[in-house]
Amino acid sequence: MMKCFEVHKKFSANCKKEECKYWIDHNKSMNCTIIASQDGPMTLQEIGNIFGVTRMRICQLEKRILKKLKSTVIRE
């Protein structure tokens, strides 16, 4: 059974399920964060454009996430 993002990618169809936790308002990625992540690395500016925030805000979030990941890995 195919996952929904696989179906969207196969048929080049945008996702319309705004209630999905993976949905983003980004037509280039068929409105799917999973497809966006599979399309390869993006600059902080490109990510900021998708979510309507600055690249600096994305940088701040990235640092916070990496800090949390490091503390989780070290604890285990």
pLDDT tens by residue, 19-73: 999 999 999 899 999 999 888 899 999 999 988 999 999 999 999 999 999 988 8
In degrees and rounded to multiples of 5, residue 32 shows phi and psi of: -130, 125
Res 72: pLDDT: 86
Q: How confident is the model at residue 74 (pLDDT cuts 50, 70, 90)?
A: confident
Is the confidence at residue 75, as pLDDT, over 90?
A: no
Residue 8 has a CB neighbour count (10 Å cut-off) of: 21
Co-location of 4 and 34 in the same domain? yes
Dist CA 71 CA 68 (whole Å): 5
Co-location of 46 and 36 in the same domain? no
Domain count, the chain: 2
The parent domain of residue 36 ranges over 1-40
Co-location of 47 and 23 in the same domain? no
Co-location of 32 and 59 in the same domain? no
Is the confidence at residue 15, as pLDDT, over 80?
A: yes
Dist CA 12 CA 23 (whole Å): 15
Co-location of 51 and 32 in the same domain? no
Is the confidence at residue 76, as pLDDT, over 80?
A: no
Co-location of 53 and 19 in the same domain? no
Dist CA 19 CA 39 (whole Å): 22
Is the confidence at residue 18, as pLDDT, over 80?
A: yes
